[in-house]
């Protein structure tokens, strides 16, 4: 540790300083208060040992100045004129300890060992809080698949580096969650995270939304408006669906990314901004560059660190964890369950809408559950069943894992619909073609919901 020793009694200062150095401390000595304060402000000290009565500035004044510093050192007061009142006053103002003269230097060494232990514990606590904060920032990234683990590892690696990130992935894979996780575990976490969906804003308004405008910039500009870059100053700007940004807006975005300055509409003065840009796209931007639909220079500026999120069908291991997460979120205090064979179907289904489709399926099944706690297969797999009825095909390679009875029912329903269509809805003729009675046909139509 670095120790500042302030005492106008030369004999004490020399002998104590020598003992401290022999014990391994780096020591600087000052003979009065002003010199001690100047040394303290010029250096970085872990502990200050100061006499209470010194020329120019008392030890109590020095204590107060030290405690007001950004990272204050621990202060040990030494004095030959101690009173209970002065000791209480010193401790109230933040002194680490109060020692009366004459003292044995070993007593001071023991006090410094306690200072070292205190600072070690504080450092460990700060590191623990930082680690917990980082994990909290990743808590919304649910999954244990190899693909998800690679994403989390990359997020941990790049979060604090301020490098621009380009997140790619199909719609519904959770690109904004990844962007938020990067922000939440970075040193910008206490600053704004400002998202902007480029596809959700008309191209004529997008520039105004990103860069802002000055009062009077156009007819309806009655007040100054800060753009997303200004609002994200010190933090992170997340540009979702960057592929939907018009080329003319891309030119202005490139300038901001390069120069770190934004020029609001109607202004001739650039404003400096400190913003980390994270972009996301659902298309192959490299192909868009080749097709002339995206600027090549902007692509390379944004694609410093690429993060590709695999579709849900490629990380089926994550489906049970995601399902449990959504059951807790939408179920409240009710413990809803899913039959094992239905969970197998959920894992086998292709989920073209990715995590967003799974989330909607769980929410829908809970909303339709009524008093039941076992969620219905038809509600959970409504999209898959509807798609199968419409196309006669399954989304998942090899089809979902279903029973033979389910396959037979599905085929029977499709065939009845086809025969009814061929007989123009004439039930008697349809029953003859099917080789069953009209009553039997009516019962099956009712069972399958055929009008």
Structure confidence at residue 230 (pLDDT) = 93
Decide: residue 33, CB within 10 A, 0-12 exposed, 13-18 middle, 19+ buried. Answer: buried
Whether the per-residue pLDDT at 79 is higher than 80: the answer is: yes
What percentage of the chain carries pLDDT values higher than 90? 50
Structure confidence at residue 446 (pLDDT) = 86
Domains 146-310 and 313-400 share a fold: no
Structure confidence at residue 398 (pLDDT) = 45
Element (H, E) at 150: helix 146-158
Whether the per-residue pLDDT at 103 is higher than 90: the answer is: no
With H, G, I as helix, E, B as strand and everything else as coil, classify residue 277.
strand
Structure confidence at residue 91 (pLDDT) = 87
Angle between helices 427-434 and 404-422 (to 10 degrees): 130
Give tens-digit pLDDT for 224-267: 888 999 999 999 999 999 999 999 999 999 999 999 999 888 88
Structure confidence at residue 128 (pLDDT) = 64
Q: Which fold has domain 146-310?
A: Rossmann fold (3.40.50)
Whether the per-residue pLDDT at 394 is higher than 70: the answer is: no
Query: Residues in the chain, how many?
Result: 451
Give tens-digit pLDDT for 286-308: 999 999 999 999 999 999 999 99
Give tens-digit pLDDT for 319-333: 999 999 999 999 988
Total Cβ atoms within 10 A of residue 13: 19
Total Cβ atoms within 10 A of residue 392: 10
Contact 46, 2 (CB under 8 A): yes
With H, G, I as helix, E, B as strand and everything else as coil, classify residue 115.
helix
Give the residue, 223 or 273, on which the prediction is more confident: 273
Q: How far is CA 205 from the centre of its chain?
A: 28
Q: Averaging pLDDT over each range in 46-50, 263-267, 443-447, which range is the top one?
A: 46-50
Whether the per-residue pLDDT at 134 is higher than 70: the answer is: no
Structure confidence at residue 348 (pLDDT) = 82
Whether the per-residue pLDDT at 10 is higher than 80: the answer is: yes
| Total H helices, total E strands in the chain | 20, 14
Give tens-digit pLDDT for 93-102: 889 998 888 8
The class that CATH gives domain 403-451 is mainly alpha
pLDDT band at 397 (very low <50, low <70, confident <90, very high): very low
d(CA 193, CA 176): 11
CATH architecture designation of domain 313-400: Orthogonal Bundle (1.10)
Whether the per-residue pLDDT at 125 is higher than 80: the answer is: no
Q: How far is CA 28 from the centre of its chain?
A: 44
Contact 265, 211 (CB under 8 A): yes
Structure confidence at residue 13 (pLDDT) = 86
Structure tokens at 431: 């029953």
The CATH code that applies to domain 2-124 is: 3.40.50.2300
**Residue 37 φ then ψ, to 5°:** -65, -40
**Which residues sit opposite 226 in a β-bridge?**
212
Structure confidence at residue 130 (pLDDT) = 59
Domain residue extents for the chain: 2-124, 146-310, 313-400, 403-451
Give tens-digit pLDDT for 329-383: 999 889 999 998 888 888 888 899 999 999 999 999 999 999 899 999 999 988 7
Whether the per-residue pLDDT at 201 is higher than 60: the answer is: yes
Contacts of 211 (CB under 8 A, 6+ apart): 227, 229, 252, 256, 262, 263, 264, 265
Give the residue, 88 or 193, on which the prediction is more confident: 193
């Amino acid at each position: 540790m670095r120790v500042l020793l302030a005492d106008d009694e030369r004999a004490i200062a020399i002998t104590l300083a020598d003992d401290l150095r022999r014990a391994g401390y780096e020591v600087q000595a000052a003979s009065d208060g002003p010199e001690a304060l100047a040394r303290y402000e010029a250096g970085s000290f872990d502990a200050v040992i100061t006499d209470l009565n010194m020329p120019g500035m008392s030890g109590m004044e020095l204590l107060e100045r030290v405690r007001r510093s950004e990272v204050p050192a621990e202060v040990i007061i030494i004095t030959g004129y101690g009173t209970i009142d002065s000791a209480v006053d010193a401790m109230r103002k933040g002194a680490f300890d109060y020692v009366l003269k004459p003292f044995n230097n070993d007593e001071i060494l023991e006090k410094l060992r306690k200072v070292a232990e205190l600072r070690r514990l504080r450092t460990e606590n700060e590191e623990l809080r930082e680690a917990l904060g980082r994990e909290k920032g990743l808590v919304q990234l649910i999954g244990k698949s190899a693909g998800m683990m690679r994403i989390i590892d990359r997020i941990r690696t790049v979060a604090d580096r301020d490098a621009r990130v380009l997140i790619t992935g199909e719609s519904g894979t959770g690109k904004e969650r990844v962007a938020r996780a990067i922000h939440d575990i970075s040193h910008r976490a206490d600053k704004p995270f400002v998202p902007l969906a480029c596809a959700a804003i008309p191209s004529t308004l997008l520039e105004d939304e990103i860069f802002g405008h000055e009062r009077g910039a156009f007819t309806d500009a009655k007040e100054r408006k800060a753009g997303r870059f200004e609002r994200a100053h010190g933090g992170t700007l997340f540009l979702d669906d960057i592929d939907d940004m018009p080329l003319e807006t891309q030119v202005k975005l490139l300038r901001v990314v390069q120069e770190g300055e934004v020029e609001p509409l109607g202004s001739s003065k650039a404003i400096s901004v400190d913003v980390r840009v994270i972009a996301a796209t659902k298309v192959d931007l490299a192909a868009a560059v080749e097709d002339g639909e995206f600027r090549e220079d902007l692509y390379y500026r944004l694609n410093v660190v690429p993060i590709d999120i695999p579709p849900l069908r490629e990380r089926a291991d994550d489906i049970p964890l995601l399902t449990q997460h959504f059951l807790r979120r939408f179920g409240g205090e009710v413990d809803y369950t899913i039959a094992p064979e239905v969970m197998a179907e959920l894992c086998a289904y292709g989920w073209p809408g990715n995590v967003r489709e799974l989330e909607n399926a769980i929410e829908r099944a809970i909303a339709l559950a009524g008093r039941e706690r076992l969620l219905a297969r038809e509600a959970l797999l409504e999209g898959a069943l509807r798609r199968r009825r419409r196309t006669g095909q399954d989304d998942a390679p090899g089809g979902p894992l279903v029973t033979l009875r389910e396959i037979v029912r599905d085929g029977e329903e499709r065939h009845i619909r086809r025969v009814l269509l061929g007989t123009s809805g004439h039930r008697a003729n349809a029953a003859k073609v099917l080789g069953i009675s009209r009553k039997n046909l009516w019962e099956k139509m009712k069972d399958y919901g055929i009008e």
